[in-house]
Amino acid sequence: MTAVSLVDVASYLPGEPVPAEFYTEYPAAEDKLRDHPMFKVPPSRHHVAADETNADMVERAVQPLIERHGREEIRGVDVLLVHSQLPDLPFVGAGTEVARRLGLNPEWLVDVANAGCASFVYMLKLARQILTTTDAKTALICNAQSAAGQWFTQSQVRRLAQAAIPGDGCGVGYVTTSSDAPILDVETRHIGEYAGEMTVAADDGRKYWEPGQSQLRIGFSDASVAKVLARGNRLVPEVVTDLCRRLGVATTDIDTLITNQPNRTFLRNWREALRLPGERHPNTFDEYGNLFGAAIPITLDRALSSRRIEDGNLVVLAGFAHAGDFAGAAAVRWRGTRG
Amino acid sequence: MSEEPSTLADIPGLLRIENAGKEELTAHCMELTHAVYPHHQVYGRYCTIHEYVDCPPEQVYDYLRQGHHLEEWTCSLRDFAPSGTPGLWVGHDRLENDTRIYCEVVANPAAMTVDYHCAWDQGEKLWMIYLMRVVPARLVLGEQGSVITWTNCRHPHYDANPYPEKAPRPDRPWVGDYWDLFYAGHTLEMNNLKAILEHRHRNGLPLGVAPARPVTR
């Protein structure tokens, strides 16, 4: 079987850091929950600019890859996979616009609209499959998250405890048929049972495209938050444990675990469940908040930049999506190509 | 001088819907909810286990309240005989050689609780207490049969033998040395209990047996 490697990642954070006070000192801000780990406000996050699109962010995030691997090499990718939240257009993803900007001519282009916060893992699996079974040799996978500066800054939503948690950003990965940093295995689960439980909430019940005064936000009842906590607690350790079992290693052999980062409680629980010390589970929650799907590639990029990952390390990327409708984990034997 | 009644507002640290609100309560609960719990956190100070048994609750209670049945379902309690003190039996705990265990059954038919008040080596102070309760499964699980709960609390004597002079020999290991295995050991015994009761109930056999050493009443 052809070896497929995640050879590099890069990222982009829009604008200047936005301090917690943007939310906590907003008139009528909900402050009862500020001291709880589930809702504790990250000190900082980034927001997309008013006119900044997902394609803008991907274009900027890819620049370091172009610098490190050459413009022609990146332009030559055979596969382009893009996940973006919020979509800039309701009827088409950002993929073709990304291709236009970067001058790509991929044979395979998929706008992935499932797998949410763990979509980087799912796109790794897709890329590996396409690179293993076709003539395709290289893939670019992109996660753009632009909900924080758009949805959660709306006048009525901004005062809610949930608004202060998300942050915007974009992470991209470069995947090739090589054995530089092989993707050892990927474990994914689509869990239909939990589909559709994360909703767009509008107080007047209008469809998102219908005109009206209500401001859209992510819908969560207390009960479903509790359910999602229980599912997340279970799902991420499960997929990581199954992945490790297939690889014949213990979870404690993971050198670096990088997950999505909905809040500090999940980060703590996953680390505990997999019996890993904090230093082996880096996150960027305090700096960037909940980055949704972009968290995994951005945190991986930061961990590499700060030299927290050494050659030969077993790196596991894992997460779950939405209200638990997807969970996935990927293992990479890291060998740096950044020089 | 009359005492002013205490108001809840005077008590620090209360979390009630009146002062915390629903969202804050939920957030507190979330924080307390982990994916895994270390063994010592769950079984360090108290050891509670529970099991479903497909056998009518009154019959399960009746079997448990007869202390000599401990010889059937426990791993190592054997040879019970009257001690001479009414209600107090003495047998061997074969976990360790030459070790006597004293036991008194305190049962409440209305609540279907059966507590075994026990101690190694002496019967004056029964500090090692096994608290068991039979609950009709119809009430709590919506099906026939019983739920049995079983709790032990870590009395300080588990950590230090209060009567070392009564041990059969100085180097005899102490019962409290096994505390960390209580979850496992009690689970084995609960499995025995379930197997015995379900087998006899399923096959229409008498649940109990006569004591090997009957006590003259």
Interface with B, mutate which of A30, A34, A39, A264 (most B CBs under 10 A): A39
State which CATH number among 3.40.190.10, 3.40.50.10860, 3.40.47.10, 3.40.630.30 fits the domain covering A184-193+220-334: 3.40.47.10
- The answer to whether the CB atoms of B35 and A161 lie below 8 A apart is no
Q: Which helix (H) or strand (E) holds A226?
A: helix A222-247
Residue type at A121? V
Fold type of domain A5-179: Peroxisomal Thiolase; Chain A, domain 1 (3.40.47)
Strand ordering across the sheet containing A314-321: A183-190, A326-333, A314-321, A256-259
Strand ordering across the sheet containing B46-53: B46-53, B146-153, B128-136, B113-120, B100-108, B88-93, B77-82
Q: Which residues of B touch A39 (CB under 8 A)?
A: 27
Asked whether A297 and A120 are in contact (CB, 8 A), the reply is yes
CB under 8 A, 24+ apart: contacts of B112-119: B112/B57, B112/B58, B112/B61, B114/B61, B114/B64, B114/B65, B116/B67, B116/B70
3-state secondary structure chain B: CCCCCCCHHHCCCCCCHHHHCHHHHHHHHHHHCCCCCCHHHHHCCEEEEEEEECCCHHHHHHHHHCHHHHHHHCCCEEEEEECCCCCEEEEEECCCCCCEEEEEEEEECCCCEEEEEEEECCCCCCCEEEEEEEEEHHHHCCCCCEEEEEEEECCHHHHCCCCHHHCCCCCCCCHHHHHHHHHHHHHHHHHHHHHHHHHHHHCCCCCCCCCCCCCCC
pLDDT score of A247? 98
Fold type of domain B39-202: Alpha-D-Glucose-1,6-Bisphosphate; Chain A, domain 4 (3.30.530)
Interface of B with A in 2-61 (CB under 8 A): 20-24, 26-31, 33-36
Residue of A nearest to B29 (CA): A226
Interface with B, mutate which of A34, A36, A231 (most B CBs under 10 A): A36
Q: Which helix (H) or strand (E) holds A176?
A: strand A169-176
Q: Which residues of A touch B19 (CB under 8 A)?
A: none
Segment among A153-167, A278-292, B178-192 with least mean pLDDT: A153-167
- The answer to whether the CB atoms of A36 and B31 lie below 8 A apart is yes
> What is the model's pTM?
0.88
Report angle CA B24, A264, A330 to the nearest 5 degrees.
140
Structure tokens at B41: 């956190």
Alpha-carbon torsion, ordered A102, A105, A106, A112, to 10 deg: 50
Residues 6 or more apart in contact with residue B90 via CB below 8 angstroms: B80, B81, B82, B83, B100, B101, B102, B103, B123
pLDDT score of B216? 46
Q: What is the pLDDT of residues A193-214, one digit of tens each?
A: 999 888 888 889 899 999 999 9
pLDDT score of A196? 84
Interface with B, mutate which of A272, A274, A275, A281 (most B CBs under 10 A): A272
pLDDT at residue A315 is higher than 60: yes
Q: What is the pLDDT of residues B62-80, one digit of tens each?
A: 999 999 999 999 999 999 9
* DSSP-based three-state secondary structure for A328: strand
Q: Residue ranges per domain, chain A?
A: 5-179, 184-193+220-334
pLDDT score of B1? 56
Q: In the A/B pair of chains, how many CB contacts fall below 8 A? A: 52
pLDDT score of A161? 85
CB under 8 A, 24+ apart: contacts of B20-28: B20/A32, B21/A32, B22/A222, B23/A30, B23/A32, B23/A33, B23/A161, B23/A222, B24/A32, B24/A33, B24/A36, B26/A222, B26/A225, B26/A226, B27/A33, B27/A36, B27/A38, B27/A39, B28/A36
The whole-angstrom distance between A224's CA and the closest CA on chain B is 11
Asked whether A132 and A182 are in contact (CB, 8 A), the reply is no
pLDDT score of A167? 98
pLDDT score of B217? 42
pLDDT score of A220? 62
Using alpha carbons, select from A22, A291, A32 the residue that is nearest to residue A164.
Answer: A22
The whole-angstrom distance between B28's CA and the closest CA on chain A is 7
pLDDT band at B214 (very low <50, low <70, confident <90, very high): low
pLDDT score of A119? 98
Q: Which residues of A touch B36 (CB under 8 A)?
A: 237, 269, 272-273
Q: Residue ranges per domain, chain B?
A: 39-202
Segment among A124-128, A335-339, B5-9 with least mean pLDDT: A335-339
Q: What is the pLDDT of residues B91-100, one digit of tens each?
A: 999 999 999 9
Option in B23, B33, B36 nearest A229 (CB): B33
Q: Which residues of B touch A276 (CB under 8 A)?
A: none
- The answer to whether the CB atoms of B23 and A32 lie below 8 A apart is yes
Per the listing, tokens 């006597």 go with: B100
Give the pairing of strands A256-259 and A314-321: parallel
Q: What is the pLDDT of residues B109-155, one digit of tens each?
A: 999 999 999 999 999 999 999 999 999 999 999 999 999 999 999 99
* DSSP-based three-state secondary structure for A168: coil
Q: Which residues of A touch B17 (CB under 8 A)?
A: none
Per the listing, tokens 């309560």 go with: B25
Option in A161, A229, A270 nearest B30 (CB): A229
pLDDT band at A227 (very low <50, low <70, confident <90, very high): confident
Residue of B nearest to A160 (CA): B23
Report angle CA A82, A86, A87 to the nearest 5 degrees.
60
The average pLDDT across A65-72 equals: 97
Give the pairing of strands B113-120 and B128-136: antiparallel
pLDDT score of A30? 79
Q: Which residues of A touch B27 (CB under 8 A)?
A: 33, 36, 38-39
The whole-angstrom distance between A222's CA and the closest CA on chain B is 7
Residue type at A203? D
Give the whole-angstrom CA distance, residue B112 versus residue B87.
Answer: 19
The average pLDDT across A11-36 equals: 88
State chain B's mean pLDDT as an integer: 94
pLDDT score of A38? 67
Q: Which residues of A touch B20 (CB under 8 A)?
A: 32
pLDDT at residue A339 is higher than 90: no
pLDDT at residue A36 is higher than 80: no
Half-sphere exposure of A190 (CA within 13 A, CB side): 7
The whole-angstrom distance between A163's CA and the closest CA on chain B is 15
Asked whether A152 and A163 are in contact (CB, 8 A), the reply is yes
The whole-angstrom distance between A326's CA and the closest CA on chain B is 18
The whole-angstrom distance between A234's CA and the closest CA on chain B is 6
Structure tokens at A65: 């890859």
Report angle CA B192, B197, B201 to the nearest 5 degrees.
150
Structure tokens at A202: 């509008």
Option in A33, A268, A270 nearest B27 (CB): A33
